[in-house]
Structure 1
Amino acid sequence: MQKCFSILLLVLLSFEGISQTLDKDTIALEEVVVTSIRPRQKDRSLTPLQSISREELDLAKGNSVAEAISTFSGITLKDYGGIGGLKTVMVRSLGANHTGVFIDDIQLTDAATGQVDLGKVSTENISSISLFVAQANNLAQPARYYASASVISLNSVQPDFSAKSLRLKSGVKLGSFGLVQPSLSIDKLINQNSFASMLASYTTAHGQYPYNLRYGVVLDTTVRRMNTDIEALNLSSSYTYSFSTDQKLLFRLMYYGSERGLPGAIVFYNPYSSQRLWNDDLISSLQYKNKLSEKFNIVSRVKYSQSKLRYLDPDYLNAEGKLDNIYNQQEYYASQVVSYGITDSLSASIAADFFINTLITNVDGYAMPTRYSSLTAIALQYKQKRLALNGNILATYVAEKTVYGNAAPTRTRLTPTFAFGYKLIRSGKLRFNFLYKDIYRLPTFNDLYYTLSGNNSLQPEKAKQFNLGLRAYGGFGIFSYASFSTDVFYNKVTDKIVAVPTKNLFVWSMRNLGVVDIRGFELQAEIATLPLWGKFLFSASSNYTYQRALDATDVNSPTYKHQIPYVPIETFATKSAISYRKLTLGYNLLFNGFRYALGENITDNLVPSWWVSDLTVLYNKEINSYTLGVKGEITNLLNRQYEVIKSFPMPGRGFSITISFTY
């Protein structure tokens, strides 16, 4: 013991001597700052991904999802003009019905048309929007994610209660064409385990924008767009309860109600239109998430939705002297997902969705269908340092019954997806990706049973997607982040279902086009700077898409090897922002090449190319415990006259200002 004590004393004395030496001969080392570039989600994704953050949404024009994603590559926006005009998107020429839209993993659906009007979906309480070709690389997603060729994923804002238990935001937007849009959001921390949120917004506008009516090749007169008014109410509430950090329950209730005019096509110089549309939509959902262990997760979801739509044409030539149709859709939905980490490198999941869709209407002779759908997806993920593999197979079973007439036959199909990624350099800043997906789209209720154009023997639409991608990212010099990517894609579509509008927005004609070959490529680039001169920040992104979507059905057809309707051969978009302290200036430019309104690529069907630019100014100032926000917008900065859909003129230059207070 005495020997141990002596050794310990010697060690302590030696440390004391060392410390005295260091005190006398201190060496000051120059500070070294070590930084690294954190990869963004799109830098890690095996499937092509584009996203827009809350900060970018604040700079985007308008308040709808359709406007926010209009600058994404591969997007073709079908816009009939005006504040309340129908707005749908298709990705890489596959049609709007192939695009799934999800809010916090709950899908927005329309069994009648299969197309979600993104003009109705507000970005007011959205933290980010992502567009995935194929699907996300998330094993906890429902089976419905795997059932779409592309997915638009919306994530809600998660309130920050670190400073206060109550958060309020109120604002009003005033703009051209009679736009008035007040909004209010409230987030309340109830206790340590739960909080509630509420959002309400109201929109009204007469929408009567001027446009030039062409007589021959001469701009003869300026008239105002008629029957473009809208009145809409958007409500959303949610309640979140956390049993623990790994176990949460989320309840959400959403409501959208509107009345709007449907502006008609300008045919033979006649701008008159009298059709009206009413929407009354309700969605309630419940999600339960439980991380049982580091490897084992379960997610349960249920949803009920009801959508009422009334369409009125007071000038319809029939015995009643009008057409007044009412459609009532309902959906009952349940989903269960189980994921498990088999090893550190290998994970698996199984997702099972079951849902029932019904449609009741006062249309004479309508079938009154009910559809029973079952989707089961088994997915695997494998990750090593430089290699990543994703694969899944989706089993689809659909049965239908009708009150009147014959129902479509029962459909079953297995559709696989495979994604491969390899880091060409060890850091992962240069990556190669490959994607293959087989997808299967059923005809909608209107495709099958609509009285004027339905066909219950219509074939389902089948598509095969191929994508080769190369992505690089990093930072250098004054750039905190820079990225470049290129994707080459090929889509093979058989029995393509084409929806072509006729004399108004609500009546469509449906047909199987047969075979469509879609080939193209996308280029994307993005930069963001470090603070310049201590206070300035600059960011910019651009993308270019080239695509040929050709009818390859019948060599004897006049449309053989012609571009299918409303697919531009090329599109280009760029957006940039410069910030100085609390002030930000944003600029967007969007170009769409020429396209054709019908299958024959002839001059009479040509829709000219167009480009528009928008300018946004954003200012935020903190005043005591409040934040004042002011946003000014100039849309269609150079007052271009153009049409996205033939004979449906778009608005010219418009102005708006938004004033908001956040507490």
Structure 2
Amino acid sequence: MLKKQFKTTRVFRFKRFARKSYSVFNSLHKTVTIGVLSGCALISAHATTVEPAERVYTQTSTDSIPPTELDEVVVTASKVDLPLNLAAKQVTVISRQEIERAPVRSIEDLLNYVAGVDILQRGPHGVQADISLRGGSFDQTAILLNGVNLTNPHTGHYSFDIPINLSDIERIEIVQGPSSLVFGASAFSGGVNIITRKDPESNGFAKLEGGMYGLFGAEARGAYKTENSLHSLSAGYKHSDGYIANSDYNIVNLLWQSRFDINGSNLDVMAGLNDKKQGANTFYSAAHPNQFDDTQGIFASIRGETGGRLKFIPHIYWSRHYDEFQLYRDGTPDIPATYKGHNYHRSDVFGMNLNMQYASRWGITSFGGEFRNEGIMSNVLGKPMDDTIGKYTKSDSRTNISYFLEHNFIFNRFTLSVGGLLNYNTAVVDKFNLYPALNASYRPSKSLKLYASWNKATRMPTFTDLYYTTSTHTGNSNLEAETSEAFETGLKYIHPVIKGSIAAFYMKGRNMIDWVKTSSDALWESRNHTKINTKGLDATLGLDLKEWFGANQPFHSFSMGFMVLDQNMVESGLISNYVLNPLHYKFTAALHHDVLKNLSLSWNFRWQEREGSYVQYVDSQPGERVDFTPFSLLDVKASYRFPHVDLFVNANNIFNTTHVDFGNIPQPGFWLSGGASIRF
């Protein structure tokens, strides 16, 4: 059995990296192969793609990593991939099993079940939602797909316009708190890294579903494996007529992935397309119920990785996002003569990075850099163009250059990560800034981990923050970059029966950017808040009931989470659209159990209370200022499993609770859907 476990460790790139038997000469030889294919070994921000593994034991030489029982997954909470129990920072992992059990239709819906995550939805099922971590705004969270930073410089509203279906996901990693060293300068309050499936055993998958409000969905995925490569292609389509007027949507996703094994080194190629068309009832202005959004996002990336003690990881990526925003949807009657037409935007991101890693008896050293260029063309945002291009009359661009260095000291009971990011942006003249990170964990026993961290981060304003000026909004081209500094301490306990964690955190935000107004009749304006301090506590508990009570009883698992957050609002008299409206409390709970053989139920409950207030509109006119009210929701999924076919029914918001995440945008009441999936 032990011999088999040693063999299984080969699935860990972490193991391959640390093994002393690989010579430095061999590493350099492999680097040439990857370097030619990548085309640039310039500078880079780390982007990682890691794979799940069984619980195994690994044994390494005395000058690398000490023998230890590895956790189920290797995570990306530092510049190097480390087993979860060795990582010096707290990471929340949503597993594939949890995803399959959840009564959801999108990543945004799924993240709602995490107590430490605030999802502010304008539309359900992936139409549009903003993600907030630790009280930060949606623009302050980095969104990554297999390590590719797809955070949108136009506006964070579109950062989730990514081409992925739930059935494509292996797991989701959530890193709370400033993470510029890990995910790049945009990870001001944290990051979400979505890891796709790479298993060649699931060669085919298809799913059909339907439900209330004209809901229809279809997904298909296929994989093809050769001796030295693995290729997969997935496609998805989602549609609804809408639960209220002008809330219909059509969403298409396409994702292609290929992995090549070249003399022991890996080359990953990925490309995707996301196409959305949705009615945007009061999305951005409660005075206009007939808004419409038509967006397309495309991206491509190439990433290489060598093995051995000296590792090279070059990466090139590109993404483009189109947006046509209609304040008055085509066909709306009585459009005012003052309306000048729709808004058109095209944003582009191009990045190159190189991460070099070296393993020694003192741990793992990672160093490298990133070049990232962000640009926009628009008829609304930017500076006037000398020569217009089609509908685009304005443009702007900026380049971010960063260098990083991190060292992980890894011992039997202790992990210490020390590093920093040296960052320069062309929008900030002649100024390099250093953002250090210090993370430590101590394992007094195999099950218990104590940790503490100190991190600093930054974020540049989006192009919307800088330039969006209309009859209701005023942009501010003089906005300064935001900065944050965070302290965190906590513990995590892992046992076959019980898993739990608790964390206390404190974050100081400076020059925080928000859209605010001084009164209900004033214009929204973007401005820097002088100071916002955030402190809070979050805790989780998970029970494996099969392990506890035995396999001959119906209950599988139970989990719950709680977060409390408090902000010191320096300018609390302002009406805020984002920053000053954090969740104050959030509680989640989930139960999975059998009803009959092959028939199971999954229950997901959440209760939350939000700070702040909003101006309530009546008949498209501003009225009184009202506080957000607490609400609770209960969702349930019933699944019946055959050998290759699953039947399921989702009942969301079964008590038909009225609630809002943003003021004046009602969220769906009771929604019933169901369908079937097949595995080939």
Go from structure 1 to structure 2 and tell me whether the alpha carbon gap of 1:266 and 1:489 turns closer, same or farther (over 3 Å shift): closer
Equivalent residue in structure 2 for 1:129, among 168, 172, 180? 172
Counterpart in the other structure of 1:150: 190
State which drifts further: 43-52 or 491-500. Answer: 43-52
Cα offset for 1:570?
0.8
Counterpart in the other structure of 1:361: 378
Q: Does structure 2 retain, via aligned residues, the 8 Å contact 1:134–1:146?
A: no
SS of aligned partner of 2:464: helix
Counterpart in the other structure of 1:519: 535
Cα offset for 1:487?
0.8
Equivalent residue in structure 1 for 2:589, among 567, 574, 582? 574
Cα offset for 1:93?
0.4
Matched, 1:470 2:470: no
SS of aligned partner of 1:97: helix
Matched, 1:299 2:316: no
Matched, 1:434 2:452: yes
The one-letter code sitting in structure 1 at the alignment partner of 2:138 is A
CA distance in 1, matches of 2:613, 2:654: 26
The one-letter code sitting in structure 2 at the alignment partner of 1:542 is M
Equivalent residue in structure 1 for 2:343, among 315, 325, 331? 325
Q: Does structure 1 retain, via aligned residues, the 8 Å contact 2:200–2:230?
A: no
Matched, 1:413 2:440: no
Counterpart in the other structure of 2:511: 495
TM-score by length of 2: 0.78
TM-score by length of 1: 0.80
Q: Does structure 2 retain, via aligned residues, the 8 Å contact 1:535–1:581?
A: no
Equivalent residue in structure 1 for 2:245, among 222, 226, 232? 226
SS of aligned partner of 2:123: coil
CA distance in 1, matches of 2:101, 2:265: 35
The one-letter code sitting in structure 2 at the alignment partner of 1:458 is L
CA distance in 1, matches of 2:157, 2:150: 9
- The Cα offsets for residues 447-489 of structure 1, whole Å up to 9 and x where unpaired, read as 1233342222111111111101022232xxxxx3302221111
- The Cα offsets for residues 76-107 of structure 1, whole Å up to 9 and x where unpaired, read as 11112344642011111022222111111111
The one-letter code sitting in structure 1 at the alignment partner of 2:504 is V
Equivalent residue in structure 1 for 2:292, among 265, 276, 284? 276
CA distance in 2, matches of 1:281, 1:605: 36
- The Cα offsets for residues 169-224 of structure 1, whole Å up to 9 and x where unpaired, read as 111111221111111111111x20112110111111111x2xxxxxxxxxxxxxxx
CA distance in 2, matches of 1:85, 1:130: 22
Equivalent residue in structure 1 for 2:270, among 252, 263, 288? 252
Q: Does structure 2 retain, via aligned residues, the 8 Å contact 1:383–1:389?
A: yes
The one-letter code sitting in structure 1 at the alignment partner of 2:507 is N
Cα offset for 1:228?
0.6
- The Cα offsets for residues 355-403 of structure 1, whole Å up to 9 and x where unpaired, read as 1111011238745111111121111100112221011100111114xxx
Equivalent residue in structure 2 for 1:174, among 201, 210, 225? 210
Cα offset for 1:512?
1.2
Counterpart in the other structure of 2:500: 484
CA distance in 1, matches of 2:534, 2:662: 21
CA distance in 1, matches of 2:518, 2:276: 24
Go from structure 1 to structure 2 and tell me whether the alpha carbon gap of 1:568 and 1:376 turns closer, same or farther (over 3 Å shift): same
Query: What are the within-5 Å matches in structure 2 for residues 19-418 of structure 1?
Result: 39=71, 42-83=84-125, 85-118=127-160, 122-134=165-177, 144=184, 147-161=187-201, 167-189=203-225, 191-207=226-242, 209=243, 225-244=244-263, 246-264=264-282, 273-291=289-307, 293=308, 295-314=309-328, 319=337, 321-343=339-361, 345-363=362-380, 366-367=383-384, 368-400=395-427, 409=429, 411-418=431-438
Go from structure 1 to structure 2 and tell me whether the alpha carbon gap of 1:143 and 1:150 turns closer, same or farther (over 3 Å shift): closer
Go from structure 1 to structure 2 and tell me whether the alpha carbon gap of 1:565 and 1:537 turns closer, same or farther (over 3 Å shift): same
Go from structure 1 to structure 2 and tell me whether the alpha carbon gap of 1:277 and 1:265 turns closer, same or farther (over 3 Å shift): closer
Counterpart in the other structure of 2:43: none
Cα offset for 1:262?
0.5
Counterpart in the other structure of 1:613: 634
Cα offset for 1:147?
4.5
CA distance in 2, matches of 1:594, 1:147: 23
Go from structure 1 to structure 2 and tell me whether the alpha carbon gap of 1:410 and 1:70 turns closer, same or farther (over 3 Å shift): farther
The one-letter code sitting in structure 1 at the alignment partner of 2:237 is Y
Go from structure 1 to structure 2 and tell me whether the alpha carbon gap of 1:620 and 1:325 turns closer, same or farther (over 3 Å shift): same
CA distance in 1, matches of 2:602, 2:396: 48
CA distance in 1, matches of 2:342, 2:274: 21
Equivalent residue in structure 2 for 1:549, among 538, 563, 567? 567
The one-letter code sitting in structure 1 at the alignment partner of 2:217 is Q
Q: Does structure 1 retain, via aligned residues, the 8 Å contact 2:610–2:630?
A: yes
The one-letter code sitting in structure 1 at the alignment partner of 2:583 is P
Structure 1 stretches lacking a partner, 5+ long: 1-34, 210-224, 401-407, 475-479
Go from structure 1 to structure 2 and tell me whether the alpha carbon gap of 1:146 and 1:396 turns closer, same or farther (over 3 Å shift): same
Q: Does structure 1 retain, via aligned residues, the 8 Å contact 2:381–2:468?
A: no
Q: Does structure 2 retain, via aligned residues, the 8 Å contact 1:54–1:127?
A: yes
Go from structure 1 to structure 2 and tell me whether the alpha carbon gap of 1:194 and 1:508 turns closer, same or farther (over 3 Å shift): farther
Q: Does structure 2 retain, via aligned residues, the 8 Å contact 1:366–1:450?
A: no
CA distance in 1, matches of 2:277, 2:134: 32
Counterpart in the other structure of 1:215: none
Counterpart in the other structure of 2:26: none
Q: Does structure 2 retain, via aligned residues, the 8 Å contact 1:391–1:418?
A: yes
Cα offset for 1:310?
0.5
Go from structure 1 to structure 2 and tell me whether the alpha carbon gap of 1:518 and 1:134 turns closer, same or farther (over 3 Å shift): closer
Cα offset for 1:264?
1.3
Cα offset for 1:552?
2.6
CA distance in 1, matches of 2:184, 2:675: 37
Query: What are the within-5 Å matches in structure 2 for residues 628-643 of structure 1?
Result: 628-643=645-660
Cα offset for 1:146?
8.4
Q: Does structure 2 retain, via aligned residues, the 8 Å contact 1:142–1:353?
A: no
Go from structure 1 to structure 2 and tell me whether the alpha carbon gap of 1:618 and 1:145 turns closer, same or farther (over 3 Å shift): farther
The one-letter code sitting in structure 1 at the alignment partner of 2:194 is L
Go from structure 1 to structure 2 and tell me whether the alpha carbon gap of 1:514 and 1:142 turns closer, same or farther (over 3 Å shift): closer
SS of aligned partner of 2:114: coil
Counterpart in the other structure of 2:54: none
Equivalent residue in structure 1 for 2:479, among 442, 449, 458? 458
Q: Does structure 2 retain, via aligned residues, the 8 Å contact 1:589–1:613?
A: yes
The one-letter code sitting in structure 2 at the alignment partner of 1:498 is D
Cα offset for 1:422?
1.3
Go from structure 1 to structure 2 and tell me whether the alpha carbon gap of 1:597 and 1:366 turns closer, same or farther (over 3 Å shift): farther
Counterpart in the other structure of 1:21: none
Go from structure 1 to structure 2 and tell me whether the alpha carbon gap of 1:512 and 1:142 turns closer, same or farther (over 3 Å shift): closer
Structure 2 stretches lacking a partner, 5+ long: 1-56, 58-67, 74-83, 385-394, 616-622
RCO (CA 8 Å, sep 6+): is it higher in 1 or 2? 2
CA RMSD of aligned residues (A): 3.1
